[in-house]
Chains A and B, each alone.
Chain A
Amino acid sequence: MDSSALTRFEAAVLPHLDAAYTLARYLVRNEHDAEDVVQDACLRALKYFDGFRGEGETSARAWLLTIVRNTAYSRKGRRRVDALTTEFDETQHSDTVVDEHPEGVLLQEDAKETLGRALDRLAPEFREVIVLRELEGLSYKEISEVAGVPVGTVMSRLSRARTRLQEALRNEEGS
């Protein structure tokens, strides 16, 4: 790779480093791991940059966030994103909005649960749509590209995640 190609890559990708770091922070929930995820993701992005340039429709930010997301998931030992999609899309699995931590179930009843903790407790598939929408301001279409699910799924996940956060907020106010 010549230096001008690297310069082009840096110009396209580095402006989105805050967004990348924010997503990584909320996905891995740890500063140190989040930094590693962002660095790995940037290296991956560099490798695939030529492939990206032809795609047009996807913004560089959504593209980088896709790689950050996949890097974070593979780091967490998640098998395949597809498997998670099937698992969490079913409406009968609505309980799974809450993460797999056993104590999460208890905290659901905890009146003192804060909004931030409630977000933390969401299953990653729900947490990420909140972060991508509320903090990164991505469109549903972009979120669907990043998360690799249809727009309709983005819509329902976002709504269920919000309902969950709203319960936490209500409990907070009631306490």
Chain B
Amino acid sequence: MTHPGFEAQLDAYLDGELAAADARGLEAHLTQCPECARFRDERLELRAAIAARIPAFQAPDVLRQRVRAALNTAARTRAPYRLSLRGAWRPLAMAASLAVVAFGSWNLSLRHAAGEALADDVLSSHVRSLMPGHLTDVLSSDQHTVKPWFNGRLDFSPPVYDFAGRGYPLLGGRLDYVDGRPVAALAYGRRQHLINVFLWPATRGPSGAPKTRDRQGYHLLHWTTPDYTYWVVSDLGVAELHDFAHLVQQGDSAAGVSSPR
């Protein structure tokens, strides 16, 4: 080819992707240059050959059925699994709550969308936990009861703290599902309010200070430590929410779990 860069331009022209002014210049050239005109004709032949001989496929019926079934199952299991709540915490549960979620990695190119989807996931879990019977699987204010309860239920051992002395008593824990995997959920109280904590191991690097999102009247806090990623959801004031997040971070560093830089 004697016209460098021409091929890609002509391809773009044949694909209808060339700007009008460029297209006109190119058409003028084609009328005068037999070599380029022949190239164009060959490209058109190629296009016809591809259309005739490179098939597009139809998804097999069995695949359609498989996909539908898998989607149905996935949509169902996105609802959280929980044991029933013993009556004591129902008034608290009906009041308000706070959720902290730690989570792992996801597709890089979809990170932003995934972050938003996760925030929605977290908020949904939070709201469901407020429904009667949905707050805790293990009901205990003793962190040494709650932490071992997760053994055999999760593939990690979540850090569990009691902040009763600071006005955030531990209420209990439960299993939840966020981002398609089982996570630890911890419930804390704050006066008449309820606090939920969810967490699972992070595979991404640590983030900075907690970031705040506001949705449907709830606040969500989110940060990542080298070990866990956290989300906090609450209708508490943002200041108290950050106070609580700070306690969790302090607890992490005291326990030897790295806190955010």
Could you tell me which A residues sit within 8 Å of B by CB distance?
Answer: 1, 3, 5-6, 9-10, 14, 17-22, 25, 35, 38-39, 42-44, 46-52, 54-55, 66-67, 70, 80-81, 115-116, 119, 130, 133-136, 139-140, 148, 155-156, 158-159, 162-163, 165-166, 169
Contact = CB atoms under 8 A, between A and B. Distances in A.
Nearest to B6: A159
Contacts of B242: none
Given A51-B116, A134-B47, A139-B17, A18 B67 contact: no
Contact of B110 (A10, A18, A51, A116): A51
B117 A35 contact: no
B57 A46 contact: no
B53 A115 contact: yes
A43 B71 contact: yes
Interface in B15-70: 15, 17, 42-43, 45-47, 49-51, 53-54, 56-60, 62-64, 66-68, 70
Contact of B67 (A5, A38, A158, A162): A38
Interface residues of B, number: 47
Contact of A35 (B45, B50, B60): B60
29 contacts: A1-B78, A5-B75, A14-B64, A17-B63, A21-B58, A21-B60, A35-B62, A35-B63, A38-B63, A42-B71, A44-B107, A46-B75, A47-B179, A50-B117, A50-B120, A51-B110, A51-B114, A80-B108, A81-B109, A115-B49, A116-B54, A135-B54, A136-B56, A155-B8, A158-B11, A162-B11, A162-B43, A165-B46, A169-B49
Would you list the 4 A-B pairs with minimal beta carbon distance, nearest first?
A: A51-B113, A159-B8, A21-B59, A17-B59
A134 B49 CA distance: 11
A134 B51 contact: yes
A51 B112 contact: yes
A20 B64 CA distance: 11
Contacts of A166: 42-43, 46
Contacts of B79: 1
A45 to B, nearest CB: 9
B83 interface: no
A156 B8 contact: yes
A70 B72 CA distance: 23
A155 B57 contact: no
A133 B75 CA distance: 33
B74 interface: yes
Contact of B74 (A14, A46, A48, A67): A46
A84 to B, nearest CB: 13
Contacts of A115: 49-50, 53-54
Contacts of B57: 18, 21-22, 25
A52 B59 contact: no
B50 A42 contact: no
A99 B8 CA distance: 21
